């Protein structure tokens, strides 16, 4: 029976067939989440939420071709977030693209911890801010905060400023964007001894360590790699935290899983107490926290 004579419920949905084929193609290309990515790309082309994809039957004019182009790019390991132009992070949808590190779900756990320990109306500094994921999440979820986001890279700063200017709610406190090097002893020196909470997701991958094609080809190397041992940024950030934090203030810093022993020791040596290592979503050691107990002499 020709398809034109079939009842509507017997016509196979174009969208569902395309998604199934795309998922198979992405799986062959080694994409970690092929079905999810195939669905998100289809939802992007259709302009709907992923949850409404099941009721979509046809692409709009030109949509199928556009979908094929996006799937091809994803199969070539272009990051999904670059293709759709944004990355979800907690309650935010952040603009991302070439020149800025794409925020990962693991970092959401660092924000969970931060919100649990932050006092009312805290002063919070986010070093190596990138898209502003950490800073903007704290500002959105902890009204009354003063949040300062620090970023040195010119391209990343453009994305940070774009995200900071488009706050989720008009009631969110503005995030102060500072163009500065997180490792410079003079960065935010005017805030020394006043910060309640310092957060940082720095570059921490040891030079030469294998990374996924989406990372090696698209994330800025300066936001990923940090010297032979991956600690080239973490060490000076801890030193800067000693000066910035008030007595009793907290530091939370993300790190490589191989740093589960050394980062806690660096914190203790710098005068931090209550040092803890926290696991990520896969159970790997991913970030370390500690409380600053006393200021060192100048």
Where in the sequence numbering do the catalytic residues fall? 101, 201-202
How far apart, in whole angstroms, are the C-alpha atoms of residue 87 and residue 103? 7
Q: Where are the beta strands (DSSP E) in the chain?
A: 86-89, 92-95, 123-127, 146-151, 175-179, 195-200, 245-254, 272-279, 285-292
N residues, the chain: 298
What 3-state class would DSSP assign to 216?
Answer: helix
Residue 91's alpha-carbon distances to 3, 96, 109, 222, 250, in angstroms, are: 44, 16, 13, 27, 23
Stated as kind and residue range, the H or E segment containing 154 is helix 154-165
């Amino acid at each position: 029976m020709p398809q034109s004579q079939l009842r509507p419920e017997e016509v196979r949905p174009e969208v569902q067939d395309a998604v199934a084929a795309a998922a198979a193609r992405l799986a062959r290309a080694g994409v970690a989440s092929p079905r999810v990515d195939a669905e998100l790309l289809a939802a992007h082309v259709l302009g709907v939420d992923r949850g409404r994809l099941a009721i979509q039957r046809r692409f709009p004019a030109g949509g199928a071709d556009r979908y094929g182009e996006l799937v091809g790019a994803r199969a070539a390991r272009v990051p999904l977030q670059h293709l759709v132009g944004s990355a979800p992070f907690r309650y935010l949808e952040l603009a991302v693209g070439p020149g800025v590190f794409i925020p990962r779900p693991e970092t959401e756990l660092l924000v969970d911890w931060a919100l649990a320990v932050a006092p009312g109306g805290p002063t919070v500094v986010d070093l190596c801010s990138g898209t502003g994921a950490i800073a903007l999440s704290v500002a959105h979820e902890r009204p009354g905060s003063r949040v300062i986001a620090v970023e040195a890279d010119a391209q990343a700063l453009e994305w940070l400023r774009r995200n900071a200017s488009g706050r989720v709610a008009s009631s969110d406190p503005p995030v102060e964007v500072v163009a500065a090097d997180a490792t410079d002893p003079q960065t935010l020196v005017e805030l020394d001894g006043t910060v309640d909470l310092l957060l940082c997701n720095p570059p921490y991958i040891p030079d030469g360590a294998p990374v996924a094609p989406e990372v090696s080809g698209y994330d800025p190397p300066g936001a990923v790699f940090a010297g032979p041992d991956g600690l080239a940024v973490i060490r000076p950030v801890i030193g800067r935290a000693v000066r910035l934090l008030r007595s009793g203030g907290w530091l939370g810093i993300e790190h490589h899983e191989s740093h589960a022993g050394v980062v806690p020791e660096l914190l203790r040596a710098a005068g931090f107490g209550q040092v803890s290592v926290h696991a990520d979503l896969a159970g790997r050691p991913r970030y370390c926290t500690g409380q600053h107990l006393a200021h060192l002499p100048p």
